Amino acid sequence: MADHPVDEKLPALKMATTGLQHVAAMYAGVVAPPLIVGAAIGLTATDLTFLTGACLFTAGLATFLQTLGIWKIGARLPFVNGVTFAGVAPMTAIVASTEDKSDALPVIFGAVIVAGLLGFLAAPVFCKAIRFFPPVVTGTVITLIGISLLPVAFGWAQGPNPAAHDYGSATNLGLAAITLLIVLLLRRFTTGFVKQIAVLLGLVIGTLIAIPFGATDFGPVADAAVIGFPTPFHFGAPQFQLAAIISMCVVMVVSMTESTADMLALGEIVERPADERTIAAGLRADTLGSAVSPLFNGFMCSAFAQNIGLVAMTKIRSRYVVAAGGGFLVLMGLCPMAASLIAVVPRPVLGGAGVVLFGSVAASGIQTLVRAALDKDNNVLIVAVSLAVGIIPITAPEFYHAFPETARIVLDSGISTGCVAAVLLNLVFNHLGSGGRDAHDVTHPMEAGEELTNAPKAPAAS
């Protein structure tokens, strides 16, 4: 019997090139979180390069774990794993609440380790509890992730330093606008591989355009070593603070929800439907990868949804192709000079690309909400209130100023508060009491709600 396409091993050259394509599709997504968190802490260019390389290295390890698998760990599907966007806002909230910024990363790492281990233990149970995370919940949360990150892109577009005289200058905003235009033109008028790496090409071209304006600094590349290793606990031993742990546990729930939805979607695309066993194994890989990642100075990991689209487009379903991409990520993490290249990109250029990158996350959430049976009043209320709660920290940053600092770590994360609100409201409106009668319409995370059996049927198309 021939191997399933998921288990097919392609020729070396095709394996390498298609693996690189997966890296290109998700590279900007992997390096964005360490850039955001590193900038919030005020890391030096050298430390920022190290943090970026560490995230690339741990993304490669997590990808190996997910695609190749060991024991009951790993979905063994063509999944690329990397730093989840869901953790960015809570991590920046932790940074803001940490008086000594040198303690911020150890606090984050400690919280991620605990959240990862708890998630690993919860994986067999979570895969059965997915009925409480229908599209109305997952769509709301993913939308909030994108909305929460867009202000970061707007800040980048203005420049690296709010105190600088050129912050928000026409030059900086112009570079951001040009980069955004380049990405849009590449997405509109190119095809295949070039279209897939439009964001990466936009960053390269935008950086070149910025050179005459003096906005590009090649110092980090000149100072970076060719070969290096993400030394364990480079930024200090992990610290364990309850509020930070709670915040990252909420992120872990969000991440596991997204990964479950991604596994269900990818299983359909590669024609190997993901059952409970596959989902549990995949969640174990996500959570174990997240728990190990901080040892090498990386953040929480989860499946990258944009690579699912790449699998669907190319029709190349081999998990070994994605494993090859994981190998490239590890090599990039072991080469600080390669990792430092992203530090060369001017902040306004990153801002222009970030509008597309973060906006796409929000758009993915809206796509999920399309399947959320919003013709039901209950679901409209769930989305409306959850989005409102999640947007509070963005539109009114001082809203929770009277609360203790430990509580604000959770409350100042719109993703965390929005997720909690969506889950609780979904339970109240769609599962408890009389609302439970309609629960079957919205319980599966990949299916739209069906019409009620007593609802009038739409007329047949003529």
Could you report the per-residue pLDDT of 389-402, keeping only the tens digit for each? 999 988 898 898 88
Of 74, 92, 62, nearest to 333 by C-alpha is 62
pLDDT at 453: 39
Average pLDDT of the chain? 82
pLDDT, tens digit, 9 for 90 and up, residues 408-429: 767 877 877 888 899 899 999 8
Structure tokens at 441: 């319409």
Q: Structure tokens of 402?
A: 């009277």
pLDDT of amino acid 180: 94
**What's the CA gap between 247 and 91, in Å, rounded?**
9
Residue from 286, 278, 279 nearest 112 by CA = 286
Residues 6+ apart with CB under 8 A from 339: 49, 50, 52, 53, 56, 224, 332, 333
**Per-domain residue ranges of the chain:** 5-439
pLDDT of the residue at 107: 94
Q: What is the pLDDT of residue 450?
A: 41
Q: Give pLDDT < 70 ranges for the chain.
A: 1-2, 24-25, 28, 130, 193, 196-197, 220, 305-306, 309-310, 313-314, 339-343, 405-406, 409, 433-462
* Measured distance CA(392)–CA(167) in Å, rounded: 26
The reported pLDDT for the residue numbered 409 is 66
* Per-residue confidence (pLDDT) for residue 460, from 0 to 100: 41
* DSSP conformational letter for 73: B
The widest CA-to-CA distance across the chain, in whole angstroms, is 70
